Homo-oligomer: A and B are copies of this chain.
Amino acid sequence: MKNSVNRELPADLMEKLNYQGFESTEIGHPEIQRVAPKVHVSTGDDKVVDSVADVVKATVKDGMTISFHHHFRNGDFVFNQVMRAIIDAGIKNLTLAPSSLTGVMNDMVIEAIKAGTITNITSSGMRGSLGDFVSHGGLANPVIFRSHGNRARAIEHGDIKIDVAFLGVPNADRLGNANGMAGKAVFGSLGYALMDAQYANQVVLLTDNLVAYPNTPASIKQTQVDYVVKVDQVGDPDKIGSGATRFTKDPKELKIAQTVNDVIVNSPYFKNGFSFQTGSGGAALAVTRYLRQAMLDNQIKASFALGGITKPTTDLLEEGLVDKVMDVQDFDKGAAASMHANPNQQEIDASWYADPDNKGAMVDQLDVAILSALEIDTHFNVNVMSGSDGVIRGAIGGHQDAATAKLTIISAPLVRGRLATIVPEVTTVVTPGDSIDVVVTEYGIAINPRRQDLVKALSNVPGVPVYTIEELQQLAEKKVGQPQPLEFTDRTVALIEYRDGTIIDSIKAVKD
Question: Which A residues lie at the B interface, using CB under 8 A?
Answer: 27-45, 47, 156, 175-176, 212-214, 216-218, 221-226, 273, 303-304, 323-324, 326, 343-344, 346, 351-352, 355-362, 364-365
Contacts and interface: CB of A to CB of B under 8 A. Distances in A.
Given A31-B39, A33-B36, A41-B27, A359 B216 contact: no
A360 B34 contact: no
A80 B98 CA distance: 48
A360 B43 contact: yes
Contacts of A360: 42-45, 47, 175-176, 222-223
29 contacts: A27-B41, A28-B41, A32-B38, A32-B39, A35-B36, A36-B36, A39-B358, A39-B359, A40-B359, A41-B359, A43-B365, A44-B361, A45-B364, A175-B360, A176-B360, A213-B303, A214-B303, A214-B304, A214-B326, A214-B346, A214-B362, A214-B365, A216-B344, A217-B343, A221-B352, A223-B351, A223-B359, A223-B361, A226-B359
A264 to B, nearest CB: 20
A163 to B, nearest CB: 13
B223 A352 contact: yes
A359 B31 CA distance: 30
Nearest to A500: B41
A324 B390 CA distance: 54
A37 B43 CA distance: 26
Given A214-B362, A359-B222, A40 B31 contact: yes
A29 B36 contact: no
A218 B346 CA distance: 8
Contacts of A36: 33-36, 156
Contacts of A225: 359
B41 A29 contact: yes
A322 to B, nearest CB: 11
Contacts of A217: 343, 346
A271 B202 CA distance: 34
Contacts of A226: 359
Contacts of A40: 29, 31, 359
Nearest to A199: B36
Nearest to A326: B214
A32 to B, nearest CB: 5
A364 B41 contact: no
Given A41-B359, A214-B303, 16 more contacts: A29-B41, A31-B41, A32-B41, A33-B38, A39-B358, A43-B365, A44-B365, A47-B359, A176-B360, A212-B323, A214-B304, A214-B326, A214-B365, A216-B346, A223-B361, A225-B359
A212 B27 CA distance: 26
Contacts of A326: 214
Contacts of A351: 223
A470 B270 CA distance: 77
B175 A365 contact: yes
A32 B41 CA distance: 7
A362 B225 CA distance: 13
Contacts of A346: 214, 216-218
B34 A38 contact: yes
Shortest 3 CB-CB contacts between residues of A and residues of B:
A44-B360, A34-B36, A36-B36
Given A32-B39, A35-B36, A324 B216 contact: yes
User: Which of A156, A222, A273, A356: most chain B Cβ within 10 A?
Assistant: A222
Contacts of A47: 359-360
Given A216-B344, A216-B346, A221-B352, A358 B34 contact: no
A39 B357 contact: yes
A344 B214 CA distance: 10
Contacts of A356: 41
A354 to B, nearest CB: 11
